[in-house]
Structure 1
């Protein structure tokens, strides 16, 4: 069965990547529409490497009736207005924003981790795509949790500027250039200079009304979303850092288990796990860095080692293309899962 697909926010970084991945994976498409704001109406955009171009349509006038799925990559403000309209018109929404993630009536899905949760999508006809840093982490955690039961996770992220969109990427480029030619710096997207620097601050700060006072919303998302996707019993504490890398998020993950698990056991499990690529050598360069994961589908795991400071502890390094597994790829995988489990049955 082929589907009628809408990509909302098609001209943005994630929207373009959605189009690329739909074409790459030869998603069964009967018809496809590229939709964005009035600023982009009438522009032509490539549908991956297919040689086909799509004319961008204005979301304000787009009729979602008769379309099967809409992949939203336009931010919470757009999703708040148009996702419920699309869902009410019978078009199932797969939303990349944070707006619906913690809604109890909206499944939050990583297909390698909790595919069965998609069965609840009919309550609102909306499916949420998790935060980019959460998505890659739970792909790594799921098989280990199944094997030994995860009690607690301590994670530090090293998140690329593409996680802040085109403006973030432009700012890193412009600041780097300004430093080399001696021009003045004037950060706009980030709170401090990002070129040749790191910033321990992503999203706004959480207030004292929660147990996470002093954390940022990005850090809170990682805890809450992991609990919803994987298990409410896992304790998660995160420190999220923006780094001067264009694409690719990295994470240093420390895991405390309920039951013993050796490094060799963990490596063997990860080696066979869906969505995971284990590259772990005890030698110079025997690990994956962000630049090596760009354009790839997998979540890469390296440096698996015992944590001798706690009982049943392991530490590992996790890298993934945040525009792909952290956003566009996961959304397309959700669409594939939805088609297999539900829409195909209804056809």
Structure 2
């Protein structure tokens, strides 16, 4: 098997660390591995598969000889994607920088792998909540075209990065020990106000847009249309941050062109790669963040008829947004390209 030179931009962050976990777990065929991060993290040591790596500061010259560049996300993507492509690398980017660029494929490998072949050096990873939702929607879309989706998300703090996870832990400890609670991170470190997330819900993820939806909500709307190549599908979203460490959950209401039975929906989802039906009301079995954290598959349950609307179903899905919602999806794109000999050496 060919082996490839890989760079991870954002190697010290939560998604970067998950890239490393998955590269080892999935026996990804790398020859050389380059750990890249900001100037602040340069010089840190990372132990990986019996070898010590030194984190390097990312520059425009960091990608010489790199075949695959895995970008963990953030503002660095806009700065370094073009230099990486110019150096000959394929960039798989986890940020929102290129998702809606018509020249850049937006890919969930189980949903639209054919889009990968259209890349011009950059392939975009969708938003984590979009990925998790589409793993439940695509098998149903193949049964009957979907007209409308209403989704409410319950998103773990790890979606806000390591700092958000640490703040939740600190706040819980402060509350339990009777100390004053401080908030500096959520709903977003760069925003004007910050709120306690411990024992609370925050109905804002990212900044508000002129239409009163948040940027996160509009990502789900626009990305779903692009990935399914269906500009007519109607999507409305409400995204909520919840005091859970890992794994996003979503309540989804789906209106179809034709009637889709609960049994047909279960059968279609269970046959879809990367999706698993966990739906046994008699035994109180359904997807939960506690049991989907650290897992690759998206679980789907609470599948039932929507009695208020013709040809509609409700469901509940749950998936680890650092894995399938970020690092795993990106690595699967790279694996697909390797399998189909799409990476030039």
User: In the alignment, is residue 55 of structure 1 matched against residue 54 of structure 2?
Assistant: yes
Map 1:279-290 onto structure 2 (within 5 A): 279-290=278-289
Q: Secondary structure at the match of 1:283?
A: helix
- Which of 73, 80, 84 matches 1:82? 80
Listed one character per residue, the Cα deviations across residues 44-93 of structure 1 (whole Å, up to 9, x for unaligned) are 1133xx33332211113743122101000140x21111111101111110
Which stretch of the first structure deviates more once superposed, 95-104 or 229-238? 229-238
Q: What does residue 5 of structure 1 align with?
A: 6
**Deviation per residue, 1:150-170 (Å, 9 max, x gap):** 000000000000000011101
The aligned residue for residue 198 of structure 1 is 201
Matched, 1:215 2:227: no
Whole-angstrom CA distance in 1 between matches of 2:341 and 2:115: 12
TM-score by length of structure 1 reads 0.94
Kindly state the Cα deviation for residue 294 of structure 1 after the two structures are TM-superposed: 1.0
- For residues 78-127 of structure 1, the C-alpha deviation after alignment (integer angstroms, 9 at most, x for no partner) is 111111110111111000000100000000000000000011112xx111
C-alpha distance in 2, partners of 1:90/1:311?
A: 51
Is contact 1:199–1:242 with CA below 8 Å preserved after alignment?
yes
Tell me if the contact between 2:107 and 2:113 (Cα under 8 Å) persists in the aligned partners: yes
1:178 aligns with 2:165: no
Query: How many equivalent residue pairs?
Result: 336
Q: In the alignment, what sits opposite 2:239?
A: 240
Partner of residue 140, structure 2: 144
Task: Measure the CA separation in 2 of the matches of 1:141 and 1:342.
Answer: 29
User: Which residue in the other structure is 2:90 paired with?
Assistant: 92
Q: Give the superposition deviation at 1:342.
A: 4.2
1:270–1:61 Cα change, 3 Å: closer
CA distance in 2, matches of 1:189, 1:18: 24
* Structure 1 residues 118-159: Cα deviation after superposition (integer angstroms, max 9, x where no partner): 11112xx11100000001111111110011110000000000
* C-alpha distance after superposition, 1:164-206 (max 9, x if no partner): 0011101111111111112112211113110000011100000
CA distance in 1: counterparts of 2:225 and 2:73, whole angstroms = 25
The Cα RMSD (Å) is: 1.2
Distance 1:8 1:31 in 2: 14
8 Å Cα contact 1:37-1:60 kept in structure 2 = no
- 2: CA distance between counterparts of 1:252 and 1:198? 15
Q: Partner of 1:69 in structure 2?
A: 68
Contact 2:125 2:329 (C-alpha < 8 Å) held by counterparts: yes
Structure 2 counterpart of 1:249: 248
Compute the displacement of 1:39 (Å). Answer: 1.8
Please state if 1:45 is matched with 2:46: yes
Q: Could you say what secondary structure the match of 1:200 adopts?
A: coil
Distance 1:152 1:74 in 2: 30
Equivalents in 2 of 1:183, 1:78: separation in Å? 37
Shift of 1:260: 1.0
Query: SS state of the match for residue 119, structure 2?
Result: helix
The structure with more helix, counted as a fraction of residues: 1
**CA displacement 1:291-315 (0-9 Å, x = unmatched):** 1011110000011111111111011
C-alpha distance in structure 1 between counterparts of 2:136 and 2:341, whole Å: 27
Q: Which residue of 1 aligns with 2:183?
A: 187
Instruction: Tell me what 2:159 maps to.
Output: 163
The Cα of 1:284 is off from its aligned counterpart by 4.4
Where 1:314 maps in the other structure, the secondary structure is strand
1:320-335 equivalent positions in 2, closer than 5 A = 320-335=319-334
- Aligned mates of 2:217, 2:180 — CA distance in 1: 32
Name the counterpart of 1:310.
309
